[in-house]
Structure 1
Amino acid sequence: MNIFLAVFSALLLCFTVLSLIRHDYWTFRVFDYPRLQKLSLSVACMVLLLIYFDSSSVLSWTSTLLIAANMIYLSTQIIPFTPLGKIQVQKVKTHIDEQSICVMIANVFQDNKNTKGCLNEIARHKPDVVLLLETDSFWEKETMELERNYPFHVRVPLSNTYGMLLYSRLELRNPEVKYMVEEDVPSIHTQIVLKDGTVIRLYAVHPTPPVPNENPRATERDKELLLIAELAKASKEPVIVVGDLNDVAWSFTTELFLKMSGLLDPRRGRGFFNSFHAHYPFLRFPLDHAFISEHFKLKQMKRLSNFNSDHFPIFIHVQYEPDSSSPDETLQPDADDIKLAEEKKNAPTST
C-alpha cells in the first residue's frame, strides 16, 4: 500500500475521532460539520484501498477494516436524515388553513446587497412569518416595504452580523428581544396568534459559531441552545424554534438540544436541506433549522433559491394538531444527557 493511501486513511480516521472528543474548542467541534463529506471521502478511500489491496500487508488489512468501520459509523449518523431514516414529524392529512403557519428563515449575509432578490423570494412563497438574519441598518431600510403585508414586526439591526428582522402577517404578542448569553447576540421570543386564535410560541435564534476568527469555543453557542431548550420544554404553548443555529442537524449538541427541549426535527426521515455554503456544493451543511413541538404536523419543508447570500433560505409550513405526534417520537435524555446539559448551561462564558 503506497504512502498516499496510508496518510489519506489516517487523516480520515483522525477527522472522525476528533469529532468524538466532546471538547468545546473549535478544532474539535468543526469536525462535527462535514460528516457527509467524510463519508464520501471514506468511500473513495475504500475504493482505492480495494484496488491496491495487498493481502500480505498488515497495514493494508488494518486500513481497509478501519475505513470500513468509519464508513459504517458515519452512515449511522447520516441515515436518520435521509428517506431511509425514521420520520419524526408526520405529514398533514387534512389541510386546515386557520391552524397552519409557514415560516421562511434566511441568513441574508450582511455584506450582500441583493435585497430585491430577497424580497422577490418572500413574494414568491408568501410565508406568514419571515426571519432575516445578519441584517444591519441597510437591510432594515431596504426591507421596510414588507410592513405593507407584514404589519407585525420586531427589528434588531446590528452591524456585527447578528442582527435580526422578524416580520409577521399573524399577530405577535408580547415580543421580547433577549441577549441570553452574549451581550451583542440577540434572540427574539414571541407569541404568535394563528388564524383560529391558537397561541403558539416562537424563538428566533442565531448563536455564534465555533470558529477561530469569531469565537474559538462552542461554549456560548451550546449554552444559548440549551437555555432555549429549557424555555421550550417549560412552555405551555406549542413551540417553534427557528434560526441559523451554526450547528449541523446530526451533531451531538443538536441532538442534546432536541432531547432537552422535547422538540422534533422535520428533517429526520426526509433529507438534509443543506443551507450553507450556497456557493460551494461540496461544502454544504444543514445550519438553518426549524424545530417544532409535537403539537404540529408538517405540510411542507423546502430549500428556496439563493439571492447572493452564502445561505439558502429554508421554508417550513406546519399545521397545529394537538396530540399529532406520539411521545416516543421525541428523543429522550438519559442521566448523562441531563448532567451534560446542566454543565453546559452553567458553563462560564468569555463575555
Structure 2
Amino acid sequence: MDVQIALLLGQDGIVNGAVYGLLALALVLVFSVTRIIFIPQGELVAFAALSMAALNAGRAPAVLWLLIGLAAVTLLVETWRQRRGAPVDWRSTLVWTVLLPVMAASMVVLRPASVALQALTTLLVVAPLGPLLYRLAYRPIASASVLMLLIVSVALHGVMVGLGLLFFGAEGSRTPAFSDLRFDLGGIQVTGQSLVVVGVTVALVFAMFRFFGGTMIGKALRATAMNRVGARLMGIPTDLSGDLSFALAGVIGAVSGLLIGPLTTVYYDTGFLIGLKGFVAAIVGGLASYPMALAGALLVGQLESFSSFWASAFKEVLVFTLIIPVLWWRSMQSVHVEEDEE
C-alpha cells in the first residue's frame, strides 16, 4: 500500500464515518431520553434512499401509504386515550398525524422534478415515521425495562424489513448525486458528493449542539436524559420529549438515506448493516457521549475502509468485532448495579 492508496481509503473512511456518525448521534439521543435502543433507525435510512429513487423514477414511494396508515391509527389511539381520561396534546398530535402526512401526500402528487424538491418530499415522507412509531410501539410501554424495550425494537425491525421488501422488492436502487463536481487534490480524486456528505454532517452536528445548548426545548431534552423523574417533577412533558427525540431521529435517518443513496446501491435490508455500524459507534460513546460517538463513527469508517483493502471478505467481521474490546473496557471501568425488581 502506497501513500496515495492510503489517502483514498482514508477519504472513503471519512465519508462513511460521517454517515455512521449521524446514526450514532440519533441512537444516543433516543436512548438517553427514552432508554430505547432504536434498532429500526437503519430502516429509516433505507426507506429514505429507496423513496428518493422512486421519486427520481417518477413513481410514488410506497412508504407514503405506511405513513398515512400509521397516522390514521395514531389518531384513533389518541382519540381513544382522551375518551379514557388520559391527557392528549392535540397540537403535536395533529402535526404528526394530519399536517405532515397531508404535506407529504401533496408533494408526492405534484411529482417534483428537481432533486432538491424530491429530497424535501422524501424528508416529509420518512421523518414523521419516527414519532408515529414511538407513539404506537413504545409509549404504551415507556416504563418497561430496557430489555423489554429492546425486544420490541427487534420485533419492529423485523416488521419494517418485511414492509421494505413489500414496498420496494428485492432489487436495489441508487440515486443521482447531489453534486457532479470532481477535482484533483494532491493526486486524489475528490467528488462533490463526498463533500456534500461531510458538509451536511458537519452542519447537522453543529445544529444539534446549538439546539441542545442554546434552546429551551433542547435543554428540556437534556434534563429528561439526565433525570426523567426530576424533569417530570419540574414540569417538563416527558412524553413529548420522546416524540421530539424520535422526530429528530427520523430527520437524521431520512437525511442519512439521502446522503448514502448516491454512494452505494441500497436494498430493502441494507439499513440493518448501516444502522448496526452506527450502533457500534454509539457503543464506543457508551450510548451517552455525543463526541465519543462521533469519534467512534470515524473509527468505524476508517476500519471498514482499510479492511476492505486488506481483507474485503472479512471487513464486516472486523468492524463488528470492534464492539468486543469496547464492551470489555467499559465493563472494567464501570460499577455494576443490580436493578431492583418491581
* TM-score (ref. length: structure 2): 0.25
Higher strand share: 1
Higher helix share: 2
Instruction: Please identify the structure whose Cα radius of gyration is greater.
Output: 1
- Which one has more relative contact order, counting CA pairs under 8 Å at least 6 apart? 2
